[in-house]
Amino acid sequence: MTTMKPIPFNPENDLAPIPFETRHVRLAKELKRLGLPWVPHVGCFVWDEESLIEAGSPFPNNLYFILSLPRFISILGSVEAMREKLVWLPTWHQARLLCRRLGIEDVAIVAIWNSGVPMSPGDELQAIYEELAAVLRR
């Protein structure tokens, strides 16, 4: 039987599905602290800050993608343990849906794009995270 070797994410050649910068992880951790609602589910990127997941991630910096919820539950014990021990990194799409859910109007997001400052996708996502944080602080 042939075993397949995993091929890790290569930041020099691969297009990142989300920004993998420290600033996003820190802001996502702040969103969690502020009470950002999250129920772990398939399709979420998470940060394992405490390196609880023994299996190596294909992404840098202990970032994981939830492809199999039962697998994560078997590692961490429960959905509640996942919510407690992992930090959710909403994708751009998830962050935009959260904006609508939390009452952030589209005009606020348009203002980010129309700021006159050229933005990378990472800058744009950070600005949306900051909008979410501002609402959660109120």
* Mean pLDDT confidence for 6-34: 88
Do residues 119 and 86 make contact, with C-beta atoms less than 8 angstroms apart?
no
pLDDT of 85-118, one tens digit each? 999 999 999 999 999 999 999 999 999 888 788 8
Question: How far apart are alpha carbons 42 and 101 in whole angstroms?
Answer: 19
Q: Which residues of 23-36 are buried (b: 16+ CB within 10 A; e: fewer)?
A: ebbebbebbbeeeb
- In whole numbers, what is the pLDDT of the chain averaged over residues? 92
Question: How far apart are alpha carbons 64 and 89 in whole angstroms?
Answer: 10
- What pLDDT, on the 0 to 100 scale, is given for residue 60? 83
pTM: 0.88
- What pLDDT, on the 0 to 100 scale, is given for residue 85? 97
pLDDT of 21-34, one tens digit each? 899 999 999 999 99
- What pLDDT, on the 0 to 100 scale, is given for residue 77? 97
| pLDDT of 39 over the 90 cut | yes
Distances (CA, A) of 7 to 3, 59, 75: 13, 10, 22
